[in-house]
Amino acid sequence: MNQGDLFEQTGWIDLPDGKLYWQPDFISANEAALMFESLLSTLPWQQLPIKMFGREVLQPRLQAWFGEHGYTYSGLMLPPAKFPPLLDNLKNRCSRVAGDEFNTVLANLYRDGQDYMGWHQDNERELGPSPNIASLTLGESRRFVLKHIHTGEKREFELGSGSLLIMAGKTQTFWQHALPKTAKTREARINLTFRKIIY
Ligand SMILES: O=C(O)CCC(=O)C(=O)O
Ligand SMILES: [Mn+2]
């Protein structure tokens, strides 16, 4: 599917069994560049291990986490941590668009095109049955793919710096998503995924 044909529009997009919000210019290019540099140098980036086929391996990206409460993500226990002011501000801006109150952010740092995120659903019980997940990109743009788990139908987005993609409705039940490896870039991308953990 050609992203340029379908996804130049801004706003809510209906999917079969899901819903997305797409705004490529949510943050201006200048502001996004400043935020990228600030977060790159100040967040406590860590390369965390996950269990794969019973073995511990390092994830192919760096991560940082902030939230009022702890969170279990891919078997990792992430402890509570206070939001830095910039992330608090972005959380509030994303919350207004989603019409929801995000209370956590998982930040991903893809150091270059070799860092990636495999196919998954963000369907942890703590997120509830129809979670809003807001995904903000800063820095290098990367291709993001969604695939319906029953029909195999795909949607693709080029997530550029300053873009906002919100996955909503039943998207986490019926669609997987991934950020594939690419040989096209050696530049870094920061992705902020704002989530609401329900207690
Ligand atoms: O980097 C991205 O765009 C995707 C991140 C993601 O899916 C996640 O953190 O669960
Ligand atoms: Mn995800």
Look at ligand 1, atom 1, and give the residue with the nearest C-alpha.
191
N-term to C-term CA, the chain: 39
Question: For 78, how many CA atoms within 13 A lie in the half-sphere containing its CB?
Answer: 24
**pLDDT recorded at residue 7:** 54
CA of 184 to the centre of ligand 2 (A): 22
What is the CATH architecture of 22-195?
Sandwich (2.60)
Amino acid at 67: G
- The DSSP-derived string for 69-135 is S-EEETTEEEPPBPPPHHHHHHHHHHHHHHTS---EEEEEEE-STT--EEEE----GGG-SS--EEE
Judged by its nearest atom, the ligand closest to the C-alpha of residue 61 is 1
List CB contacts of 67: < 8 A, sequence separation 6 or more.
Answer: 78, 80, 81, 83, 103, 104, 105, 197
Query: Residue 8's pLDDT is what?
Result: 64
DSSP 156-189: EEEE-TT-EEEEETTHHHHEEEEE---SS--S-E
Identify which of 24, 19, 33, 68 has the alpha carbon closest to the alpha carbon of residue 194.
68
- Predicted local confidence at residue 116, as pLDDT: 97
With beta carbons less than 8 A apart as the criterion, state whether 24 and 168 touch.
no
As a whole number of angstroms, the distance between CA 51 and CA 105 comes to 22
pLDDT score recorded for residue 2? 46
Confidence at residue 36, expressed as pLDDT on a 0 to 100 scale: 98
The per-residue pLDDT for range 51-70, each reduced to its tens digit, is: 778 888 899 999 999 998 88
Q: How far is the CA of 122 from the centre of ligand 2 (A)?
A: 5
With a 6 Å cutoff on the Cβ, whether 106 touches ligand 1 is: yes
Q: What is the mean pLDDT of each run of 10 residues along the chain (199 residues)?
A: 56 97 97 98 92 86 92 78 97 98 97 97 93 98 98 97 98 98 97 94
